[in-house]
Structure 1
């Protein structure tokens, strides 16, 4: 269910990156410019139409948040619905604070 920062950083474009933080968190905290932001609760209520709208093209989904809690819950939800979903281990905070070797 997890993807490491090393694995993700090799080619983030091969994933559909979903940031489930609030719009304010997304704006003021470090984030990935290529990520699509929608608050977790809003996403969970309308996940199917959201994913259809964004045409994920059968890409694996990497769900991110600041530390990994909300993204982990969302990834588990998506896995239960049959999607190929993972959460970024340690969240965006961990990804941006530690240098990738």
Structure 2
């Protein structure tokens, strides 16, 4: 399993609308992508304009080729992109250990 970690900074005062957009984008776009295995959304405490989105993919290519190379990526960005105060930072991680 691959973890996509996306770090977002959004415009001030847009939290509720951004959270709704993320939920809509996940349910209507990303959840239908090949290799999608789930997600978690975390909201910053010290910085309320910061969010960290974790998306779990079966393979790296499911995200980088299958999803990002598809029209669905354009749909996703149209839903969440207007809230970005800066381009998101996106990285991928491979699970090497976990607790029970």
TM-score with structure 2 setting the length: 0.29
Specify which structure has the higher proportion of helix.
1
Bigger radius of gyration: 2
Specify which structure has the higher proportion of strand.
2
